[in-house]
Amino acid sequence: MLKKGLCLLIGIMMLFCQINVVHATNLASGAESAILIDANSQQVLYHKNETKRLYPASTTKIMTMILLFEAIKEKRINWNDTLSCSAYAASMGGSQVYLEENEKMSVNELFKCVAIASANDASVLIGEGIAGSHQEFVKMMNEKAKQLKLVNTHFKNCTGLHDVEHYTCAKDLATMGAYLIKIGGKKLFSVTSLYDSYIREKNHQKFWLVNTNKLLKQYQGVDGLKTGYTKEAGYCIVTTCKKDNLRLIGVLMNEDKPQTRNEDMKGLLNYGYSKYQQIKLYSKGEVLDTLKIKDLVDQEVKVITPKDIYYLNDRASKGEVKTKIKYNQIELPVFKNQEIGELVVKKQNKTIASYSLYLEKDVKKMNFLDKLLRVYKSLI
């Protein structure tokens, strides 16, 4: 009797274990395209038709926010600046906060409108404030896409409203998401993590912003990033989640329903966090190599890691992890914030991650006096 009971208990436990196992073949079943990456290294953990060109809908606004944060960083615009709404921005359909022509709103509030409520009118107004016109802003979007090496992306607007020549892919959206997180930092998450907020609080026309990303309340650790929907694009989402110091980015494109989209994203995140563990390779500032460069004043310079370097290890995969440094062509002078190569992480002869590398300090080419001094020191 005891033996039968024990067998029954083990059988029940095995059944529950089988139910909880997340298989890659069952992931993102409702999506036409999907990808899951580590936000830090952009190591790909799962992919499905990730380079297929599809319509992005409002996930487009990730690029809008990228250009906003770059403009803030370069002091071409600041959060307290007030922008006056143009007739064109006020005419936007779809998701909006109903900006009126000549209405004034701060860049900070406009950012909240875009990041939380996916407001098309606010997105256009931000673009006009940065570039002077929506058309010029779209040019900037496409230029940035080239800089980020987004080979399957082309923009026709900053809203995501449908245009047959406006497209991207899951892989490119993940790259955009990782870059936005990098430059947006705490300011970005202080807004994208909000389930709701308000604008126009000072002029007695208080307007409630409700986040289109319902996963904020459905999955622990989710704090962004952007949803989207049009009839042509279907339901899309770019999600970021952080657990135990591990940040993942998931992308789903062209789902039939928001509910299935959200469930598919939960499954994707469960897969990532259950299958992979984060392993530290190097600490920030660790010396990886010493270069001897001809005509260098100090003769040699150290190559360092700009941040802690990790990779994600498949818990079920065996094999040694190897690293290799690939250098760019180095021409003096070189500044310490200038990328001089990359650290490539490989497992089973397959590249799983790569990180930019930098010099520990600025270095310059020897001038005539430097050369004389070197000769003099060699004679002493």
Per the annotation, binding residues are 226
Whether residues 353 and 247 share a domain: the answer is no
| 200 and 305 together in one domain | no
Number of neighbours of residue 252 by Cβ within 10 angstroms:
31
Q: Is 52 a catalytic residue?
A: no
Percent of the chain predicted with pLDDT > 90: 72
Q: Could you tell me the CATH number of the domain that includes residue 356?
A: 2.60.410.10
What is the residue range of 350's domain? 283-379
* Structure confidence by residue, pLDDT tens digits, 232-276: 999 999 999 999 989 999 999 999 999 999 999 999 999 999 999
CATH code, domain with 226: 3.40.710.10
Nearest-CA neighbor of 173 among 53, 311, 345?
53
Same domain? 216 vs 292: no
Same domain, 65 and 102: yes
Report pTM.
Answer: 0.86
Q: Is 221 helix (H, G, I), strand (E, B) or coil?
A: coil
Higher pLDDT, residue 376 or 364: 364
In this predicted model, what pLDDT tens digit does every residue of 136-173 receive, in sequence order?
Answer: 999 999 999 999 999 999 999 999 999 999 999 999 99
From 33, 86, 95, 118, the catalytic residue = 118
Q: Which of 61, 144, 171, 275 is catalytic?
A: 61
Structure confidence at residue 297 (pLDDT): 60
Rounded Cα distance between 18 and 12, Å, is: 10
Q: Which letter does DSSP use for residue 59 in this model?
A: G
Asked which of 276, 291, 315 is the last residue of a domain, the reply is 276
Instruction: Please give the pLDDT value at position 251.
Output: 99
The closest alpha carbon to 113, from 76, 57, 177, 68, belongs to: 68
Binding residues for substrate: 226
**Contact between 90 and 140 (Cβ < 8 Å):** no
Q: Catalytic annotation on 58?
A: yes
Question: For this structure, is 283 an active site residue?
Answer: no
Q: pLDDT (tens digit, 9 = 90+) per residue, 35-45?
A: 999 999 899 99
User: At 115, is the secondary structure helix, strand, or coil?
Assistant: helix
Candidate list 33, 41, 48, 58, residue with the active-site label: 58
